[in-house]
Amino acid sequence: MKLTKRLLMSVVALGIAGAMSGVALAADTIAIITPSHDNPFFKAEADGAAAKAKELGYATMVLVHDDDANKQNELFDSAIAAGVKAIILDNAGADASVAAVQKAKDKGIPSFLIDREITTTGVAVSQIVSNNYQGAQLGAEEFVKLMGEKGNYAELIGKESDTNAGIRSQGYHDVIDQYSDMKLVAKQTANWSQTEAYTVMESMLQAHPDIKGVISGNDTMAMGAYAALEAAGRKDVIVVGFDGSNDVRDSIKKGGIKATVLQPAYQQAQNAVEQADKFIKTGKTGLEEKQLMDCILINADNAGKLETFALKQ
């Protein structure tokens, strides 16, 4: 099979052993397509899916779309041409991804979505996502408690094209807005980016030097915000994130960021591969298309048990 130059670059850039064997059309191959592995959350997804696929006897084709719907569409074309048995997808946009998933379905290739939903049902076989609203409420309750139920605060929001960003923000506000002494003074997207969050936080501090807390839509932005606060000598500002990354775990253990919300990325991805395997073999999963996995609050009490988006027992 002839690889497109862009696909080849994606595979080589990942540097994942065995990726090329998947592209070379092993008999049963599962494609795993996620955003960039620069974000440890997405790397955990890919690692979890690849490990479970290997355990079940599949080769893998591990690719990244960089949150670019056009690139994602090209990767789907390549996966379809390669004759993969199934696609595990953390998508590049709730609306923009529907056509790609439908295209694969029309070719007899089922898709199993993780982390992010699409706006249409009946196209993917499974949509396995964290209960973002429940998790956001957990994070907001902890944030209010840490803030002493009062003070000026800022909010960092994720990508507007990602439904999770809006759901988490709504969950935060359905809790925080019940407290009249909690005052939102700044709210801005940082597009899930640590670098962008650093810059946004610097601007927020300049405009609102009396900020007492920051609640963030993900851990990557929380890390960027905390770095900016630390550089400004404002380690007193309370920061709460969302994801359950090892980086934020380490910050919590050092007394930096105060809390996060764990969404089980690794387990979600493994569940998706197990369901793909069952569907490939039987034509059904036995489960509803939309499946929610509850989130867990992580703070100083249990941060030591957190490892790669999972709590050790």
Whether 306 maps to a domain, the answer reads no
Q: How would you classify the pairing of strands 260-262 and 296-298?
A: antiparallel
Q: Do 247 and 148 sit in the same domain of this protein?
A: yes
pLDDT, one tens digit per residue, over 150-170 is 999 999 999 988 899 999 999
Taking CA atoms, 240 is separated from 138, 145, 169, 304, in Å, by 11, 11, 13, 17
Output the six-digit token pair for 249.
């775990």
Mean pLDDT of 21-34: 72
In a domain, 165, yes or no: yes
**What is the reported pTM?**
0.85
160 vs 241, more confident = 241
More confident residue, 311 or 280: 280
pLDDT band per the 50, 70, 90 thresholds, residue 92? very high
Query: Do 230 and 81 have their domain in common?
Result: no
249 is in which domain, residue-wise?
132-262
Please tell me whether residues 73 and 87 are part of one structural domain.
Answer: yes
Mean pLDDT of 261-273: 96
What average pLDDT does this structure show over 257-274? 96
The answer to whether residue 111 is domain-embedded is yes
pLDDT band at 145 (very low <50, low <70, confident <90, very high): very high
Residue 312 is predicted with a pLDDT of 86
Query: What whole-number distance in Å separates Cα of residue 214 and Cα of residue 129?
Result: 25
Give pLDDT tens digits for 45-82. Answer: 999 999 999 999 999 999 999 999 999 999 999 999 99
pLDDT tens for each residue of 268-290: 999 999 999 999 999 999 999 99
Are 55 and 140 within one domain? no
Mean pLDDT over residues 82-91, rounded?
A: 98
Higher pLDDT, 22 or 92: 92
CA atoms within 13 A on the CB side of 279: 24
Q: CA quadruple 43, 244, 144, 236: dihedral positive or negative?
A: negative
What number of other Cβ atoms are within 10 A of residue 207's Cβ?
11
Q: Is pLDDT of 12 > 70?
A: no
User: How many structural domains does the chain have?
Assistant: 2
Q: How many CA atoms lie within 13 A of 107 on its CB side?
A: 19
169 with 226, same domain? yes
Same domain, 138 and 86: no
Mean pLDDT of 227-235: 98
Task: Find the mean pLDDT for residues 104-110.
Answer: 98
User: Tokens 């960039």 label which residue?
Assistant: 36
The mean predicted confidence, pLDDT, of the chain is 92
280 and 237 in a common domain: no
153 and 249 in a single domain? The answer is yes
**49 belongs to a structural domain:** yes
Structural domain includes residue 304:
no
Instruction: Indicate if 157 and 234 belong to the same structural domain.
Output: yes
Predicted pLDDT at 161 = 85
113 and 141, same domain (yes or no): no
Q: So what's the pLDDT on residue 8? A: 40
Confidence of residue 27 (pLDDT cuts 50, 70, 90): low
CATH of the domain at 254: 3.40.50.2300
Within a domain: residue 9? Answer: no
Q: Is residue 6 part of a domain?
A: no
At residue 24 the predicted structure's pLDDT band, cuts being 50, 70 and 90, is: very low
Do 277 and 246 sit in the same domain of this protein?
no
Average pLDDT over residues 127-132: 97
Query: Sign of torsion, CA 147 148 151 157?
Result: positive
Does residue 313 carry a pLDDT above 80? no
Indicate whether 312 belongs to any domain.
Answer: no
Residue 119 above 90 pLDDT? yes
* 87 and 232 together in one domain: no
